[in-house]
Amino acid sequence: MNLITFDNIIKDPISYVSDIHLHGFQDVADGDNVFKNIQPRDANDEFAVYCRELFNGYKVAFNFVRKSPEGQKEPNFIHTDEMMGDLTCILYLNEESPNADGTTIYDNDEKPIFTMYSKFNRMIAFSSVLPHSRNIFENFGQGEDARLVQVVFLKAK
């Protein structure tokens, strides 16, 4: 399993998150699934550029922020992102979050093998074929305190 994590990714994370909250979120249909509260971002956004520079030889396939308030129904829990790209990069954007928040990586039998806990401005990156989930099934918070993550999918050039 290849997995990396770095802290302090965004130069001014408080302003970065404030800018995110200025823009709306929308539901995005993908076949039978509906991904709620998504804010598409472009490939030149600060986090996308960071990921692209860190993983030379990859391009941004999709970049978005997801706001997930407590109780929001999600289309899946344990899942892979292999249909989205080769690498998944997740940036945690809550200044304060429950201690359990983060991402769990599983083996092919859906047994947990690694748990990362969120921290404001922390990134976790891993192969998109790895089964994973958020740590808190029901999400958390409301409004600007809801779970907030940015996801960048990278594809090999």
State residue 1's pLDDT score: 60
In tens, the pLDDT along 94-133 reads: 999 999 999 999 999 999 999 999 999 999 999 999 999 9
Sequence-distant (≥ 6) Cβ neighbours of residue 72 within 8 angstroms: 36, 37, 139, 146
How far is 7 from 10, CA to CA, in rounded Å?
9
Can you point out the beta strands (E) in the chain? 3-7, 26-30, 33-40, 58-68, 87-92, 102-106, 112-117, 122-127, 132-134, 147-156
In tens, the pLDDT along 10-38 reads: 999 999 999 999 999 999 887 777 788 99
* Annotated domain spans of the chain: 3-156
pTM, rounded to two decimals: 0.96
Topology (CATH level 3) of domain 3-156: Jelly Rolls (2.60.120)
